[in-house]
């Protein structure tokens, strides 16, 4: 399904999307899935999905979802 060239933008985006989907299935929570995508699944506490595991701030998942809304709308500014 995916090509072998990780430098190909389509392959890279699709692989990232599939990995995020897998993490969402694993944790059953998009916030935890985003944290696992960013920090690794071993950094997510399944017993307490709000636990940051010492990596990233507690607002990280909400920040990412807000950035996605800005990108989808085509309005607003993202941080550099």
Does any domain span residue 21? yes
Does any domain span residue 78? no
Does any domain span residue 29? yes
Which tens digits make up the pLDDT trace of 46-77? 888 777 776 677 888 999 999 999 999 988 88
The number of distinct structural domains making up the chain is 1
Give CA–CA dist 59/45, Å, rounded. Answer: 16
pTM over 0.85: no
Does any domain span residue 4? no
Which tens digits make up the pLDDT trace of 12-35? 999 999 999 999 999 999 999 999
Domain carrying residue 48: 9-73
């Amino acid at each position: 399904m995916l090509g072998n060239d990780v430098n190909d933008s389509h392959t890279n985006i699709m692989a990232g999307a599939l990995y995020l989907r897998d993490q969402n299935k694993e944790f059953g929570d998009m916030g935890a899935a985003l944290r696992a995508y960013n920090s690794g699944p071993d950094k997510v506490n399944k017993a307490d999905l709000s636990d940051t595991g010492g990596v990233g701030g507690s607002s990280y998942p909400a920040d990412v979802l807000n950035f996605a809304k800005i990108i989808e709308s085509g309005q607003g500014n993202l941080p550099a």
